[in-house]
Amino acid sequence: MSDDLREDQRIQMVAVGPDDEAEKKLWLEALEGVIDQNSYCLGNAVGEFEEQCKQYLGVDHAFGVSNGTDGLKLALRAVGVNSGDEVILPAYSFFSTASVIAHLGAKPVFVDIDPKTLLIDVDQISAAITDKTRAIMPVQLYGQTAEMDTIMKLSEQTGIPVVEDAAQAFGVRYKDQPAGAIGAAGAFSFYPTKNLAAAGDAGMVVTQNEEIAEKMRRLRVHGDIGGYQHQTLGWNARMDGFQGAILSIRLERLATQQEARARNANEYLEALKSHQLTDKIETLAQTSGSDHCWHQFIIQMDDRDRIREQLSQRGIDSGIYYPGTLPGQPCFSDLGYDEGKYPVAQRAASRVLALPIHHRLQQGDPSRVVAALAELVGTATR
Ligand SMILES: Cc1ncc(COP(=O)(O)O)c(C=O)c1O
């Protein structure tokens, strides 16, 4: 591959916005519909989208919220997380998995991740449980679930509820249960780079439990039980009507887009094998029983930063999710965590690379990426 790929030939990391002029027209019509209804916060468009999600996912309750972060906050509070409590989570995730816990006045208690999947190491959870533990929060990172049977068994034995950070796993199933609603509650993000993507910030909380649903419904609107009566504190965490209208259009296309992501993942896996790269480049193992929405295609290797830079020079974008561990974030320094206690997360932070996998890639793009990797890995100076 030449080093002087034209900018329009770059293999981009994300596909944000409408796919084409026809979809753009649908978006504009949908926005016009919301304007005609004059209903901008929640309203019909969000209500319709919530109903579609309930059907699509097979969940009893789904509430559109302002973003995934607010969704996690709502879900944690709805299962009873309050000031002084502890919540167990993996040491490696997007920042807000941990920040929401701290915002509720609770303490994030980190456990290391499994080296094969980079998801929470389920065998380390029970040792982290104390009499203050109020929730266990696995993260369904990159598009597949953690090993949920073990987590749910622990939850049943201890009575500690599970809240899933399913921000990256909309539509994923684990042994025929919908990610997000396997535990007591869960949250999705519809940030514009997610597999189900809004045109701005949006998210959703889901549960199969009527009581938790009632709490979520109120927490989303300042804790109002109606008539400006606030028995509990809540937030303004409503989804915008505009986002609901656009998300309904996108949900109809999701199945086709998921097929494209799965095709791309297979092409990567085949190409890595045929270039005999599997000893130099590690892919992630799949959790037994979980399917995969391929939100990200993650590889791990030594000399990651050099290879990433050289991929970019060859017209191939990539991402690092994430360059550091959660316990190592400066804002958590007062919690006194020793990053060295999370060796698997620390190693992952220096080795992961996310390759483009979105639905707009052309057939052959993953093979081009792998061909470039083959050249670059071969030239590593170590
Ligand atoms: C794992 C994870 N948790 C939480 C979030 C927060 O979602 P949002 O950006 O919609 O607030 C994200 C999204 O970036 C995420 O990937």
- For atom 8 of ligand 1, the residue with the nearest CA is 68
Closest approach atom of ligand 1 to CA 295: 16
Q: Evaluate: CB of 202 within 6 angstroms of ligand 1.
A: no
Could you tell me if 366 and 268 lie in one domain?
yes
Could you tell me if 188 and 204 lie in one domain?
yes
Report if residue 5 sits inside a domain: no
Domain boundary pick from 181, 216, 248: 248
Could you tell me if 37 and 132 lie in one domain?
yes
Q: Evaluate: CB of 96 within 6 angstroms of ligand 1.
A: yes
Could you tell me if 196 and 266 lie in one domain?
no
Closest approach atom of ligand 1 to CA 168: 16
Report if residue 323 sits inside a domain: yes
Q: Evaluate: CB of 337 within 6 angstroms of ligand 1.
A: no
CA 246 to chain centre: 20
Q: Counting Cβ atoms within 10 Å, is residue 69 exposed (0-12), middle (13-18) or buried (19+)?
A: buried
Domain boundary pick from 231, 248, 265: 248
One-letter identity of residue 44: N
Is there a contact between 107 and 126 (Cβ–Cβ < 8 Å)? no
For a mutational test of ligand 1's pocket, the pick from 168, 170, 190, i.e. the residue with the most ligand atoms closer than 8 A to its C-beta, is: 168
Q: Evaluate: CB of 203 within 6 angstroms of ligand 1.
A: yes
Show the 3-state SS of the chain: CCCCCCHHHCECCCCCCCCCHHHHHHHHHHHHHHHHHCCCECHHHHHHHHHHHHHHHCCCEEEEECCHHHHHHHHHHHCCCCCCCEEEEECCCCCHHHHHHHHCCCEEEEECECCCCCCECHHHHHHHCCCCEEEECCECHHHCCCCHHHHHHHHHHHCCCEEEECCCCCCCEECCEECCCCCCEEEEECCCCCCCCCCCCCEEEEECCHHHHHHHHHHCECCECCCCCECCCCCECECEHHHHHHHHHHHHHHHHHHHHHHHHHHHHHHHHHHCCCCCCCEECCCCCCECCCCCCEEEECCCHHHHHHHHHHCCECCECCCCCCCCCCHHHHHHCCCHHHCHHHHHHHHHEEEECCCCCCCCCHHHHHHHHHHHHHHCCCC
CA of 71 to the centre of ligand 1 (A): 9
Give the Cα separation of 263 and 361 in Å (integer): 10
CA of 141 to the centre of ligand 1 (A): 10
For a mutational test of ligand 1's pocket, the pick from 65, 74, 94, i.e. the residue with the most ligand atoms closer than 8 A to its C-beta, is: 94
CA of 55 to the centre of ligand 1 (A): 23
Domain that holds residue 191: 21-248
Q: Evaluate: CB of 167 within 6 angstroms of ligand 1.
A: yes
Could you tell me if 167 and 289 lie in one domain?
no
Report if residue 7 sits inside a domain: no
**pLDDT for position 187:** 98
Could you tell me if 226 and 169 lie in one domain?
yes
Domain boundary pick from 220, 248, 276: 248
Report if residue 268 sits inside a domain: yes
Closest approach atom of ligand 1 to CA 72: 4
For a mutational test of ligand 1's pocket, the pick from 16, 65, 67, 69, i.e. the residue with the most ligand atoms closer than 8 A to its C-beta, is: 69
Give the Cα separation of 102 and 120 in Å (integer): 19
CA of 165 to the centre of ligand 1 (A): 8
Give the Cα separation of 87 and 84 in Å (integer): 10
Torsion on CA atoms 12, 290, 256, 32, rounded to nearest 10: -80
Report if residue 10 sits inside a domain: no
Residue 143 CB coordination number (10 Å): 28
Dihedral sign, Cα of residue 26, residue 30, residue 31, residue 35: positive
pLDDT (tens, 9 = 90+) of the chain, 382 residues, equals 444 555 668 999 999 999 999 999 999 999 999 999 999 999 999 999 999 999 999 999 999 999 999 999 999 999 999 999 999 999 999 999 999 999 999 999 999 999 999 999 999 999 999 999 999 999 999 999 999 999 999 999 999 999 999 999 999 999 999 999 999 999 999 999 999 999 999 999 999 999 999 999 999 999 999 999 998 999 999 999 999 999 999 999 999 999 999 999 999 999 999 999 989 999 999 999 999 999 999 999 999 999 999 999 999 999 999 999 999 999 999 999 988 999 999 999 999 999 999 999 999 999 999 999 999 998 644 4
Could you tell me if 240 and 265 lie in one domain?
no
Q: Evaluate: CB of 99 within 6 angstroms of ligand 1.
A: no
Could you tell me if 39 and 179 lie in one domain?
yes
- Which of 216, 207, 98 is closest to 163 using CA atoms? 207
Could you tell me if 137 and 282 lie in one domain?
no
Report if residue 329 sits inside a domain: yes
Could you tell me if 192 and 243 lie in one domain?
yes
Q: Evaluate: CB of 139 within 6 angstroms of ligand 1.
A: yes
Residue 251 CB coordination number (10 Å): 18
One-letter identity of residue 51: E
Closest approach atom of ligand 1 to CA 69: 11
CA of 270 to the centre of ligand 1 (A): 30
**pLDDT for position 5:** 55
- Number of domains the chain contains: 2
Q: Counting Cβ atoms within 10 Å, is residue 156 exposed (0-12), middle (13-18) or buried (19+)?
A: exposed
Distances (CA, A) of 169 to 29, 100, 186, 358: 28, 19, 11, 14
Could you tell me if 42 and 70 lie in one domain?
yes
Could you tell me if 266 and 187 lie in one domain?
no
CATH code of the domain containing 236:
3.40.640.10
241-274 and 365-378 helices, crossing angle to 10°: 50
Report if residue 12 sits inside a domain: no
CATH code of the domain containing 295:
3.90.1150.10
Q: Evaluate: CB of 124 within 6 angstroms of ligand 1.
A: no
Report if residue 227 sits inside a domain: yes
